[in-house]
Structure 1
């Protein structure tokens, strides 16, 4: 029996438990941080059992990944202007990494991704899906000569995502991840550094 068939046998999963667990984990991440977060505490706050959690997620890292990055949505269709599309990418990265939940999850997830190649693959796949439309737009822009021919779309997406992640990690408690950062990074990416 394949795993797909095995998963379909028996009672269907209760979506209310999924929602309660994700909400509890998000609250607790912000309250206690990644290191102190436990599956047992999440289950208790969600009003369910650890067994129910482990039926859905292999462990804390996978659950926190879903909590932190499940809000990622595909970027809107291209505006037709490369500069506007880049600003949209930067704004989306800022929104994701400015979230208190994402900021609380990042240090632990980065550590766990280094130790768990499968988790790293899932995280990368999620970002690839979200930014896929922009990547396609940038490929066309390079072909049309709208951007420098040596611009690699994947490196641009990594540069923006990496800048947002680093900024989120360096913020001190109480500091805001505001729109000024997004405007400054957009200007840097669109206009470059050297005159």
Structure 2
């Protein structure tokens, strides 16, 4: 959401707009979704929506992923289990019913909208996985991970594999077996003991 000077924003409008966007996305899909329809459903005006989000893609991004919290990396002390958890959480995030409808359109729009591209990067590679750098440092200190491994590259590999699999297999193709296979391939590349 964008910051606004002046009187405080009404959080009820924010919630109503996000709820309306999610509901309409489910009903009409990304391509046919409009800010006007979202505003009408939310009982507010288009200017009120545009004061909060610069456009449909930014709004849909927030509506689809507003409850997604990837900031906490659950450390079990086992690189195998922890990396598998990251792959599984990413697969779940990208294959939710709303993500299935929104992600192709968001990727297309992010290619031509630098601010949307940055928001997606922040969510999936930056702040979204903010605990990953610390986790990788701990794994390196334990001797489980090759020194100098880049968290952003790891996430690019996980997210890229998930997006490619969605395109090739469909969202239903990101099964437990897929998660196990991708985790194993990644571990063979990053584990210091292999």
TM-score computed with the length of structure 2 as normaliser: 0.84
Aligned residues of 1:20 and 1:46 also touching (Cα < 8 A)? yes
How has the CA–CA distance of structure 1 residues 85 and 172 changed in structure 2, closer, same or farther, with 3 Å as cutoff?
Answer: closer
Unaligned runs of at least 5 residues, structure 2:
none
Structure 1 residues 106-127: Cα deviation after superposition (integer angstroms, max 9, x where no partner): 1111111111111111211122
Aligned residues of 1:34 and 1:105 also touching (Cα < 8 A)? yes
Aligned residues of 1:61 and 1:112 also touching (Cα < 8 A)? yes
How far, CA to CA, are the matches of 2:157 and 2:151 in structure 1? 10
The farther-off stretch of 126-135 and 89-98 is 126-135
How far, CA to CA, are the matches of 2:89 and 2:170 in structure 1? 21
Is 1:21 aligned to 2:17, yes or no? Answer: yes
Q: How many residues align?
A: 187
Aligned to 2:180: 183
How far, CA to CA, are the matches of 1:33 and 1:148 in structure 2? 43
How far, CA to CA, are the matches of 1:97 and 1:114 in structure 2? 18
Report the CA distance between 1:98 and its aligned residue.
Answer: 1.1
Unaligned runs of at least 5 residues, structure 1:
none
Report the CA distance between 1:77 and its aligned residue.
Answer: 3.8
Task: Specify the SS of the correspondent of 1:115.
Answer: coil
Among 123, 126, 149, the residue aligned to 2:123: 126
Structure 1 residues 62-116: Cα deviation after superposition (integer angstroms, max 9, x where no partner): 1011112222211344222211210110111011011111111111111111111
TM-score computed with the length of structure 1 as normaliser: 0.83
